[in-house]
Structure 1
Amino acid sequence: MADSKMAVSQWSPGFVQELLPAAQKTALLYNLSYLCLGNFSNLERIIRTRAVETQLLFGSSDATMLKCILTSENLVQSLFPMLVTAVEKNKPILAVKFLEKARIWIKDIINDVERIVEKYELHNKDVASSTSDVIQEKIDTDKKITEQDQELKMIKKNQNKMKSELQKTTEELTEIEKKINSKSQEIQEFARSITKTSKGLGIFAAIVPFIGLIVKSIYDAVNDPEHTAHLKALEAELNILIADKTAVKQEQWQIELQMIDWQMKAARASFDRNLIPDPIHLNEVQKSLTRIQEILIQLKNFWENVAQLLDNLEQKTFVGEDLIEDLAELKDEFLDSIKIATEAWCCFGVGCKRASVMFKLQTKDAYKFLEVSPSSLSKDEWQIEYESVKKRLEEIDTPQAVTSSDKPAISE
């Protein structure tokens, strides 16, 4: 597992909340695909099948998030109190026993997340296959058409313009992401180099896997002005990069909304000529599913890192003979670390609960549009349904998509 993958996701406990906008977009984009292609019976069947599969996959994702919630609660309610007892009674062997339990919990989660990520990968291939089916049927139909009318040409021109602008913002966002990862990694390495010189901070870094809180503790515990100044400078640079990322993401979302609007105009024009529209929204569904898969991979990497940190804690603090003697001396630092770790893990649990609620809602309500065939809608009814979906897309909170996982825990 590369440390660079963990740099951003570990800044704070809330990165799982990025699942919310991705899952909302998935359902709404399916709805648009259904509206655009549902007038063709074969394509309606394809969209319906893939949407139901996604619904079921979200149900499995909810089960995985529930396991994350329960494990977070076990850490807070069981492991941490038991570690406190072991430290207070100076019984490192007992602490090792408790850490072994936590390792089993976490290994179980890692296996679960791996399985669900594999399911997303297979499902995304199915959606890609469906997109190809739609394209082929469109090609067969369009052979009968020799030229496009003026309206479709104008729409195509605007779509290409939006596509170019979107590509530009995507490239810009990718570059900023690289810089954020690099800067976060730099902060991570510097912070952990400081914790190596302090046994108390070293224990804290093992129990609290969120780098933002480690940085705060360094500010509180380290009296070296040079270290503090350097750390603040690195944080200031990261703050600027994150502000840039937020601005570009908002710009990107506005362009995506404009593209969706032009795509729907093209679909409407195609309906009037009895043409099959492009399966553009299915492509966007794939992107949203891929985003969810990426976040779940982050979640797997996160738990793997937590398992490694707890293993290091066991080996260096409770098993290493040179540190067992210092356990009593470090008791206050350890207990303080447990207190902050409890708060951090409670926050992480809250994020997982929100993701779980989102998956439940997506499974229950977000796919009710499948109950009505688009072919049964009049033009006015179709337009009303489209405007409703478009409004819900616009209401997805773009700043929320840039969650606390991207924001430093310590502000200037």
Structure 2
Amino acid sequence: MRAVETQLVFKSSEAVMLKCVEGSQNLVSSLLPKLIDAIKNNKTTEAIKALEEARLRILEIIQDVDKMVQRYETLNKDVATTTSDIITEKKETEIALQRLSEEQQAIKDSIKKLEGQLNDTNAETEEIQRKIDVKNNQLQRAVRDLAAETQKMTIVAVFVPFIGPIIKAATESKFVPEATANIRRLEAELNGLHSLKASAKQRAWNLQVQLIDKRMSLAKIQTDLGIIPKPTYLQDVQIYLSKNQKVLTELKAFWNNVHSLLGVIKNKTFVGEDLINEPDLKEEFLKSMHTSSEIWGMFGVSCNKSVKIFQSQAKDAYKFLEINPTSLSTEEWQKQYDLVKNQLENLKVSGNLATSAIEK
């Protein structure tokens, strides 16, 4: 919005300068010669009419210039506000990035911790499984030893390949109670190991769920970090806005100078108007008109120089804001950066030229 407004102001400046050129040429080539001719021929009424027409033209130009001064003042304040907003945005962005970076690191630390716990739990599960395998072997040997004691138990062991029925059969047969007790002990220990394994697997699952949640949170933060523009770009925009603001300040001073100079020229143009009705003093009045004509001529030349400056500024002002820097490669970014710097340097020079042009 500021960029468009600036370009419009520069184009308006060009238009007002052209009006100054046109007004100066009109005064030099038409109105003042008409006034001088009327005085020479003692046509007081026509002289007064020409003088009033010149006054209206000059006042119209002064009013246009005054409006330009006000527009530059308003625009300059707006750009200053934008620059301030950029500074605030940059600080807020840096804080947001810092916060997200800290959150990202905290989540990464949590993920690392959870992964460690999961690895430990998986290792614990594998160790329990090894103990289960050992205990199973012990139990199977105990059952085979018990089954070998009698013909009946052997048959049960062959046809009923489950430990429970075998133990039941051994108990009912009243044979080798010590062996039966040992089998029951091994069975209890095996059940305990299975319980430990189930608990470890549940812990592993819970850790997996937590890891999924943390990794999703990490992905969201990384996405947020990718969306936030780098503060470097904001810092560069801030620098460019400040440079443009300096140009606007210089141009406002330029228009103030134009406004003041027009006031001086106006006063010099009409300094002898009271002499119109004094025939004896008409030579002095004519001399004053010739001087005014020369001044208006020089003013028109200066304004013509300024027109070209405003044409250049309207084309290049804030052009850097038309490009999204985050979409550029590093090489293209540097290329655009250097181009903008050169444009702004030229714009800065133009501002100085604009000020000096009217002073000359």
TM-score calculated relative to the size of structure 2: 0.54
1:137-216, aligned counterparts within 5 Å?
137-143=89-95, 145=98
Give the residue type in structure 1 aligned to 2:42: N
Hey, what does 2:299 align to over in structure 1? Answer: 348
1:9-88, aligned counterparts within 5 Å?
49-88=1-40
SS of the counterpart of 1:119? helix
Indicate if the aligned counterparts of 2:268 and 2:288 stay in contact, CA closer than 8 A.
no
Hey, what does 1:8 align to over in structure 2? Answer: none
Distance 2:257 2:8 in 1: 22
Q: 1:379 to 1:392 in 2, by over 3 A?
A: same
Distance 1:125 1:398 in 2: 18
Hey, what does 1:358 align to over in structure 2? Answer: 309
SS of the counterpart of 2:270? helix
Distance 2:25 2:359 in 1: 24
In the alignment, which of 106, 110, 113 is matched to residue 62 of structure 2? 110
Map Cα deviations across residues 268-308 of structure 1 (whole Å, 9 max, x no partner). Answer: xxx98868427233223222112111211221222223333
SS of the counterpart of 2:88? helix
In the alignment, which of 276, 296, 304 is matched to residue 318 of structure 1? 276
Distance 1:112 1:401 in 2: 17
Indicate if the aligned counterparts of 2:258 and 2:358 stay in contact, CA closer than 8 A.
no
Hey, what does 1:299 align to over in structure 2? Answer: 258
Distance 1:399 1:290 in 2: 11
Q: 1:62 to 1:273 in 2, by over 3 A?
A: closer
Hey, what does 2:241 align to over in structure 1? Answer: 282
In the alignment, which of 312, 326, 335 is matched to residue 384 of structure 1? 335
Indicate if the aligned counterparts of 2:302 and 2:358 stay in contact, CA closer than 8 A.
no
Give the residue type in structure 2 aligned to 1:346: G
Distance 1:364 1:276 in 2: 23
Hey, what does 2:134 align to over in structure 1? Answer: none
Give the residue type in structure 2 aligned to 1:57: V
Which one scores higher on RCO, CA 8 angstroms, separation ≥ 6?
1
Distance 2:351 2:245 in 1: 19
Map Cα deviations across residues 186-234 of structure 1 (whole Å, 9 max, x no partner). Answer: xxxxxxxxxxxxxxxxxxxxxxxxxxxxxxxxxxxxxxxxxxxxxxxxx
Hey, what does 2:71 align to over in structure 1? Answer: 119
Give the residue type in structure 1 aligned to 2:265: V
Give the residue type in structure 2 aligned to 1:277: Q
Map Cα deviations across residues 325-347 of structure 1 (whole Å, 9 max, x no partner). Answer: 232xx2xx665665554444223
Indicate if the aligned counterparts of 1:80 and 1:342 stay in contact, CA closer than 8 A.
yes
SS of the counterpart of 1:90? coil
Residue 100 of structure 1, CA deviation: 0.7
In the alignment, which of 68, 91, 97 is matched to residue 43 of structure 2? 91
Q: 1:398 to 1:50 in 2, by over 3 A?
A: closer
Indicate if the aligned counterparts of 2:18 and 2:303 stay in contact, CA closer than 8 A.
yes
Distance 1:62 1:404 in 2: 14
Q: 1:366 to 1:120 in 2, by over 3 A?
A: closer
SS of the counterpart of 1:326? helix
Distance 2:47 2:34 in 1: 7
Give the residue type in structure 2 aligned to 1:355: S
Distance 2:4 2:254 in 1: 22
Indicate if the aligned counterparts of 1:64 and 1:112 stay in contact, CA closer than 8 A.
yes
Residue 67 of structure 1, CA deviation: 1.7
Percent identity reads 41
Q: 1:272 to 1:135 in 2, by over 3 A?
A: closer
Hey, what does 1:235 align to over in structure 2? Answer: none
Distance 1:378 1:84 in 2: 67
Distance 2:357 2:232 in 1: 47
Q: 1:402 to 1:296 in 2, by over 3 A?
A: closer
Residue 358 of structure 1, CA deviation: 2.7
